[in-house]
Every structure is written in C-alpha cells, then in structure tokens.
Amino acid sequence: MDQALPVASTATTRRMRKTLLGTVPVSSPLYQLHPVTRFITLVFLGVVSLFIDVPEINILLIVMVFIYLHWAKVDMSNLKIYLPLTITVAIFMFTVSIGFPSRLPGYHTFQFLGITFYFESLYWTFASYWRLMAMLIGTIQYFSTNRERETLVAIRTLKAPFVITYFFSLALRSAGMFLEDMRTIREAERARGLDETSLALRDRAKLYVMYMIPLFTLAIRRTDEISNALYARGYTPSGKLENGVHRSDYILTKYPIRRIDIIVISAMIITFITVIILRVQFGIFAVAQSPLRIFLLSLWS
C-alpha cells in the first residue's frame, strides 16, 4: 500500500508518495521493483565507481542515474538543492589539488595567472571528483525514491540479523525526533526574544553547544521510554520466541520478488564482477585510458 499525498501539478492532481528526501508519484514504474533491488542499486552505484577511474564512464553512470530518475517520474527540480553541495566539493577538491599538487618527475605543467599547474595531478582530481559525484548522485537517487520502510524491507530480505535491522529502524526514528526536538527548543528561544542573526559567530557556536544539554536529556528519556515500549510488546533482541522459532515477518509478505528483480540484480552483479576483473586483471578503467586525458596530452606533443 502507498502513502498517498495529493499534490497539485500544472496539468493534473497526482497522488504522491513521500520518500526520505522527496516525493515520487505513486504510479512510478520504479515501484515495480522490489525494495531489495533498489537497495542493491544503491550499493552497486556506490561500489562500482570505486573501481572506475575513467571520468567519462562515471559521467555516463550519472547520466544513466538521471535517465533512471526520469523513468521513475521523480521531480528533477528537487535535485537543484544539491547543486551547492556539488560546487562546494569541486571548489574544495580543486583548491587542494592546485595548492598542494603531486609533483612527480615527468608530469606535464602549464602556467596560468602566475600559478604552475600539474596536469596529471589536476586530472586525477577531475577523475576523483566525477567518481565521488557518481557515488553521491547514486545515494541521492536512492533516498529520493525510497522510504525508511523499504530500506528496512531490503535489509531484512538480505537476511541481516533482526537486531541490526531494528537498530537501523530506531536510528532513523531517533534522527527525526532529534531534529524535531531541536526545532522545538529553537522556537521556544525565539518566542522568548532570541534573535540569532544578531549574535556573533562565537556566541552562535556557544548557543549550539547549549542545545546539547536539553537534547541529550530528551534523548536519554526517550531511550528509556522506547525501551519500556519494546519490553511491553514482547521484543527480544534475538528475534526468537521462547521455543527457539524465529518471529514471523509480516511486512516482507507485502513485497514479493518478481522476475524483473532477478534480472536487474543479476545484471548488476554480472556487471560488477566484470568491472572488477577488467580493472584488477587487465588494468582497464584506469585514469590513463581516459579519452579526454589522452586527447589533452596529445595537445602537448
């Protein structure tokens, strides 16, 4: 069943499902895939990029993620909020690379605005940036299209120990409550006349440190309450009953694994193994094989 939120669009009113980082139409074809398939997509995009140095391939992966999001009918305009993050990461990485470059013998150099640039060092940063972006966009796509419940279903399907899945569930819950408590405390302070904008940076820092006292007190109280609630409802960390039998898992029955899931997961596993073999055994996907790099170096000669 879907959490349906009516959202007015320009053409029609669509039923939307709230995800961890956004909303997705209930009618999205994405939901034909089992949560475990979507979760493996996250892992695949996060890990496969580690074996690929060629930036063109990582850019291609990012393009594929955007095609996937378009197919899933995700509102791409929401992704604009991540643009400052991508720019900040780029500024940080390239500043470090230009300021503190690797200066190995044989590196190609050029001068610009009185600064010496080392091409190989700069290009490695460029390749690393796109690798990082592929991982980041892969993560954003997952959290933009999935809910907490689907993540839990995925890790339970992968037979993670019950206590770990439950710990994860409570961590997701506590993160939300922590932020909500912080919002309440800040509103209470503003209601009593506190104007944060008039504070110096040091005073603002002190204010945030002071938030920790009520927040941790509340967190300890909540821990106590949730512990009692779990006990009252018969929770045992092992997930086993007195007779040693495992507790049943009702929610998993709501998500059957279909043929399409087997095909998609198999394709990702085969691709992943192929990439590892090609990278480790044959050195393919190394940065030296980047067509752009080869082209730029040809300009030197």
What residues make contact with other proteins under the rule CB under 8 A? 1-4, 147-149, 152, 169-170, 172-173, 176-177, 222, 225-236, 241-243, 245, 247-251, 253
Which DSSP letter does residue 212 get?
H
For the chain, the first-to-last Cα distance in angstroms comes to 62
Residue whose CB is less far from other proteins, 229 or 288: 229
Rounded to a whole number of angstroms, the minimum distance from the CB of residue 160 to other proteins is: 16
Describe the crossing of helices 162-191 and 148-157 by its angle, rounded to 10 degrees. 160
Rounded to a whole number of angstroms, the minimum distance from the CB of residue 122 to other proteins is: 45
Residue whose CB is less far from other proteins, 120 or 150: 150
Rounded to a whole number of angstroms, the minimum distance from the CB of residue 170 to other proteins is: 7
Residue whose CB is less far from other proteins, 181 or 261: 181
Residue whose CB is less far from other proteins, 63 or 241: 241
Rounded to a whole number of angstroms, the minimum distance from the CB of residue 235 to other proteins is: 6
The conformational region for residue 161 under phi > 0 = left, psi -120 to 50 = alpha, else beta, is beta
Rounded to a whole number of angstroms, the minimum distance from the CB of residue 81 to other proteins is: 22
Sign of the four-CA dihedral 272, 275, 280, 282: positive
Chain position carrying tokens 């912080």: 182
Residue whose CB is less far from other proteins, 91 or 175: 175
How much is the CA Rg of the chain, to the nearest whole Å? Answer: 25
Q: Which residues contact 56 (CB under 8 A, 6 or more apart)?
A: 290, 291, 292
CA 114 to chain centre: 39
Residue whose CB is less far from other proteins, 70 or 247: 247
Rounded to a whole number of angstroms, the minimum distance from the CB of residue 285 to other proteins is: 39
* DSSP state string for 102-139: ---TT--EEEETTEEEEHHHHHHHHHHHHHHHHHHHHH
